[in-house]
Amino acid sequence: MKQFSQLFSTLETSNKTNDKISALVHYFSTATEEDKLWLIALFTGKRPKRPVKTNFLKLWAMEISGIPEWLFLESYASVGDLGETIALLLPPSENSIDQSLSVWMKEIIALHDKTDEEKKEFVTNAWKNLDTQERLIFNKLIGGSFRIGVSHKLLVNALSKYSGIDENALMHAIIGKWKVEETQFSELINGENINTDASKLYPFCLAYPLENELEKLGEAKDWQIEYKWDGIRGQIIKRNEEIFIWSRGEELVTEQFPELVENIKKISGNFVLDGEILAIKEGQVLNFNDLQKRLNRKNVSKKMMEEIPVGLYVYDLLELDFEDLRNEKLEVRRQKLENLIQNAKNFKSQISNLRLSEIIDFNNWEELHEIREKSREINSEGLMLKSKNSIYHAGRKKGDWWKWKVAPLTIDAVLIYAQKGSGRRSAYYTDYTFAIKDGEKLVTIAKAYSGLTDKEIMEINKFIRNNSLEKFGPVRTVKPELVFEIAFEGIGYSNRHKSGVAVRFPRILRWRKDKTADEIDTIETVKSLIM
C-alpha cells in the first residue's frame, strides 16, 4: 500500500502532466505484476462493489476517535470528503502494515461474505496500522468512491512509455470487459485477450471545439459536415450474431435499448458502428431530458418504449467483417457504411429509427453559419466538421475533427444555496444552487460549480459567511442577493424538478453585479426557451 500511497499523493498534488506520467511510469517499473494490474483496473473504473456501508464507517470512526456526531458532521462539512474526514480524525497509527495493493484488494473483496462484526474488526485493525495517507486510500477503496484525476489517455501514455507498446493498441487492450482475477498484466497490455472477447470496443474518436475561423480549415470541399446531436454516444458491435452496445463512458448498456438491438439484428454481417443514441418519435429527435427517462433501467416496459422510442444516428464504420477500418480515410469509411446500411434487407420498411447521419450539403463556408444557427430548431447542438482524409483516432487529435456548437442559452438567476467543494476546494464555498422567480416565490433552476475566477470565489465566500440564513449539514441558505448569468446547452420539461424544468450542462457565465434579485428571470421566461 505504501507504494500505491506515494503514487496517489503525487497524482493528487501535481497539476503537471509530465510529473503524473513520470510517477505512473515509476510505479509500473517497480510494482508487482498484480499491483500494476489492479492500478489499471482502478483507474479504468473497474473497482469492486462496496463491501461496507459508509454509515458503518462513520460510526466506527466516531467510536475510535471519541468525538460526538455533531463534531464529525461539522468536520465532514469542512473537509468535503468522507474518507478524508475519517483519515484525519482517527488517532495516530500504532504500527505499520506493509501489504501490497493486490493483497489489500483481495481482502476487501473477501469482506462481502463476512459478518458486520468481522467487517468492523478488519476495518478498525487497518486504521490502527496505516498512516493518514494510506487510510485515505483504504477508505476510498472500501467505501466504493475511488476516483482520481487521471484520464484514460494519460494512463495509456504512461503505459506506452513504460512498455514501448503503441498507444492506440494499449487503449484498445485496457478498455472494455476484463476481470482482474482472470487476467495477467503482460497479457492485458499486449492485447492477447482482445480477439477472444466479441464485445471488445474501440477507443472513441473525439473532437475539439472549433478554435479558428472556418476559412482557416482550408477548402470547404475537403470537409464532411454533420449535425451534432445531444444524446448518448454509442458504439454498436455485432460479431458472430452477438450484439453489444457501449456508451462513451465504457458502460455496457445493451439491455437498456432492446428495440435498438432488434434493429441491429436485421443488418447482416459483422461490424462495429459509431453513432448517437437518441430518443426519436415520429421522425423527430426529442429533447435529451426525454432520453434520460430511458437510462439506467434494468427492465424497459413496452409502454416506456412506446412513449419514448429510441433510435440511432450512425456516422461511422470502424470494423467490417472483422477488418479494422480505423486507418482508412473517413470518405472511404463513409462509403462502406452507406453500402452496409443501404444494402440491409428491407431496410426502409423493417428497420425503424436507425438511419445514416445526414451529410449537410453546402457550397461555401459562409452558408454554414446560417445552418449552424438554425440547428437548435431540430434539437441539434450545432455542427460536426470532419476532414474527409481523417483516420479514426483514439481520443482527440487537433486538426481532423471539430465540434462547432451553437451559442449556449442563458438566464439570470439568484444564488440561494452554497456548499463547500471537495479536494483542493474543500475550504471554500464553490458549489452553488440558483433560483428564478415563480410569482412571488423562488424556485431552484440549476446547480453550477464552474465559471468564476479565484478572486470572485473569495468575494462570494465572504458574502456567504456574512449572509447565511440557515444551515443544513454542509449546505448554507444564503440571502438571495447575488445575481449570476447561467449558461446551458439544452432545456426541457421535467417532473423531477420543482420548477418543472431541467437544464443541460449549466455553468456560470458571469457575475451580474449590475443586476438585483428583482431583475432575475421568471419561470415563464425560462419555459419559453423550450423548443
Distances (CA, A) of 415 to 328, 453, 458, 514, 522: 51, 17, 15, 15, 14
Give CA torsion, residues 296, 402, 529, 358, to 10 deg.
-80
What is the chain's length? 531
The H-or-E segment that residue 153 falls in is: helix 152-163
Burial, 337: exposed, middle or buried (Cβ in 10 Å; 0-12, 13-18, 19+)? buried
The x, y and z cell numbers of residue 233, run together, are 454516444
The x, y and z cell numbers of residue 212, run together, are 479558428
Distance CA 218, CA 458 (A): 45
Residue 277: helix, strand or coil by DSSP? strand
Catalytically annotated residue among 20, 228, 386, 420 = 228
Distance CA 464, CA 418 (A): 8
Burial, 20: exposed, middle or buried (Cβ in 10 Å; 0-12, 13-18, 19+)? buried
Q: At residue 353, what is the residue type?
A: N
Decide if 368 contacts 379 (C-beta within 8 A). no
The H-or-E segment that residue 33 falls in is: helix 33-43
Burial, 426: exposed, middle or buried (Cβ in 10 Å; 0-12, 13-18, 19+)? middle
- What secondary structure letter does DSSP report for 360? P
Strand pairing category for 380-387 and 441-448? unpaired
Q: At residue 496, what is the residue type?
A: R
Q: What are phi and psi of 121, to 5 degrees?
A: -60, -45
Q: What are phi and psi of 259, to 5 degrees?
A: -70, -30
CA 125 distance to own-chain centroid: 35
For 267-297, letters b (16+ CB in 10 Å) and e give: beebbbbbbbbbbbeeeebbbbbbbbebeee
Strands (E), 333-474: 354-356, 380-387, 395-396, 401-405, 409-420, 429-438, 441-448, 468-472
- What secondary structure letter does DSSP report for 357? P
Instruction: For residue 228, indicate whether it is catalytic.
Output: yes
Residue 247's closest CA among 193, 155, 175? 175
Strand pairing category for 323-324 and 205-206? unpaired
- Residue numbers annotated as active site: 228
